Amino acid sequence: MVDITFKTYTLRKAIATAIVKVSKQETIDAIINRQVPKGDVFEMAKAAGLLGVKKTPDLLPDCHPLPIEFTAIRYRIDGLEIHIELEVHTIYKTGVEVEAMHGASVVALTMYDMLKPIDKGIEISTMRLIEKKGGKSDFKDKFKNRKDLKAAVIVCSDTISTGQKEDKAGKAIIAKLKTCGVEIGAYEIIPDEKDQIQNCVHRFSKDKYNLLIYTGGTGLSARDVTPESIEPLLDRRIRGIEESIRNYGQDRTPYSMLSRSVAGVKGNMLILALPGSTNGAKESMDAIFPHVLHIFGILNGNRHD
């Protein structure tokens, strides 16, 4: 199965359709008048469709089990055609397109099975997905100006700055930014010292950088001073970003309760202080990117950017 552990929960919707075509008007009349020998076709097919949606991962090997939070099945008769529309919602890490299509196909097959004793000319056709919402593809076009964004990545570590260890967290942050189309304007390694940390804020704010990301110095020891150094310089703290990072991490390790990530703005520059571990930095970036880039549309006065 495809790895979706790095994805975040979003509202996802899908609508699929299928068409059942009968060969004579008498079949349509029997359905409407509930005179089909096997029972009420619409109600029976609806029940089967609900089961089909729920049972999708039991039959399709690569389909992830997920919570089905809403399913609607609608019918429309057009001449000798019965148009089936099936809608599915979930709040999860992957979409429900396959569930909607599988449910629509089960509805159509149930109708075929119930109607075949009275009509030998039934056809099933045009089973397709007509709408999909939610997930990365639904939001990617909202960040139209990301190529104009310039970021600085600062690694705060005494051991890395003296050459005793190699930086991996900063490089993981840079790799994620590149996938989001953000220009890397600066990459520096500094000791975890208040003066140097604050100097970076002043310098990159003056140089009109859009994004300043620190990694390291967010632990609980007396030497970890990155949050305390940054907070007084922020015009406004954005706790929602911090909560998103912490919640994402908490789903993966209980130690995330100790996270001291900091997020806020100074002028039009977004400043983030992320953990110094490679996994901590990578997961923090996965938790909020690329969606956090929407902030630059807001900072520039375009709330619908």
26 with 106: CB under 8 angstroms?
no
Residue 27's identity, in one-letter code, is T
Closest CA to 90 of 56, 142, 133, 131: 133
Rounded alpha-carbon distances, angstroms, from residue 109 to 53, 70, 73, 211? 14, 22, 14, 54
Catalytic residue among 29, 78, 113, 195: 113
The burial of 208, by beta-carbon neighbours within 10 Å (0-12 exposed, 13-18 middle, 19 or more buried), is given as exposed
Task: Give the chain's radius of gyration (CA, Å).
Answer: 27
CB 297 within 8 A of CB 184: no
Nearest to 150 by CA among 78, 70, 204: 204
29 is catalytic: no
In the chain, the amino acid numbered 121 is G
CA 239 to chain centroid, in Å, comes to: 20
Q: Which of 71, 72, 75 has the alpha carbon at shortest distance from 19?
A: 75
Report, as residue numbers or ranges, the catalytic residues. Answer: 113
